[in-house]
């Protein structure tokens, strides 16, 4: 047509070697979350990242390695960050805050999907599971365990095994996250707000001292 057309061609694609890994990882966390490891398609990840399938292989050797990097570079930091939103207050207050902060964090469907995936599909990759355990679970357990130890020492909580209690508390919380995230559960469900209130009530009752006649622990309103 007109010879005034500038020499620029609207390139079909651009060279962005610095940004590709991040773009791919971001797309991958979404797709893995939605479909799980096995059912996630590289074509879909590529499409969402705005690249072709071949490009993924320029940066990640295989689907499994891509998954590894998603955990390492995206998931671990994201979860570790949540663990640090809790400081200050009595042990009871911190436990309640722990429950509510995590409940709120897992309220996003994406987070719940990943929890599902970690709990139920990760065991097929034992080394990854170990890595995840060391980096995420152990940290998280330490944080909550310390709170419990302090509470026991101060008499705010009854005499209990902190490590075991961490598991018990998390079990209640995480299982309800799973249940609330399933559409079927939502049919028969009460409101999420009501659910977390019930969890907090249940857990705190389980942890408080027996309060036999003598020293009735002051129950705050």
Residues that bind a second copy (CB under 8 A): 38-39, 116, 119-121, 123, 126, 129-130, 133, 158, 161, 164-165, 167-168, 170-172, 174-176, 178-179, 182-184, 188, 190, 194-195, 197-199, 201-203, 205-207, 210-214, 216, 219, 221
How many positions of this chain bind DNA (CB under 7 A)? 25
Do the beta carbons of residue 125 and residue 45 sit within 8 Å? no
- Stretch (H or E) spanning 129: helix 126-132
Give counts: helices (H), strands (E), the chain.
Answer: 12, 0
> Does residue 51 belong to the site contacting DNA (CB under 7 A)?
yes
Longest dimension (CA), the chain: 96
* Binding partner selected for residue 51 from a second copy, DNA, none, CB under the kind-specific 5 to 8 Å limit: DNA
Residue 149, SS3? helix
> Does residue 124 belong to the site contacting DNA (CB under 7 A)?
no
* Binding partner selected for residue 13 from a second copy, DNA, none, CB under the kind-specific 5 to 8 Å limit: DNA
Closest CB to DNA among 53 and 190?
53
| Cα–Cα distance for residue pair 104/107, rounded to 1 Å | 5
């Amino acid at each position: 047509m007109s010879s005034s057309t500038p020499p620029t061609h609207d390139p079909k694609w651009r060279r962005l070697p610095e940004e590709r890994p991040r773009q791919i990882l971001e797309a991958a966390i979404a797709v893995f979350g939605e479909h799980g490891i096995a059912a996630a398609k590289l074509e879909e990840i590529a499409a969402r990242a705005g690249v072709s399938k071949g490009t993924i292989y320029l940066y990640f050797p295989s689907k499994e390695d891509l998954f590894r990097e998603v955990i390492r570079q995206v998931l671990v930091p994201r979860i570790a960050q949540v663990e640090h939103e809790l400081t200050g207050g009595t042990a009871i207050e911190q436990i309640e805050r722990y429950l509510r902060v995590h409940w709120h964090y897992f309220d996003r469907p994406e987070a719940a999907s990943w929890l599902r995936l970690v709990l139920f599909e990760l065991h097929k990759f034992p080394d990854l599971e170990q890595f995840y355990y060391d980096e995420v679970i152990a940290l998280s357990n330490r944080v909550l365990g310390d709170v419990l130890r302090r509470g026991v020492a101060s008499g705010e909580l009854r005499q209990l095994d902190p490590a075991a209690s961490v598991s018990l508390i998390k079990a209640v919380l995480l299982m309800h996250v799973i249940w609330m995230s399933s559409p079927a559960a939502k049919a028969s469900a009460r409101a999420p707000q009501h659910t977390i209130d019930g969890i907090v009530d249940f857990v705190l009752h389980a942890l408080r001292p027996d309060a036999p006649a003598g020293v009735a622990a002051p129950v705050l309103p």
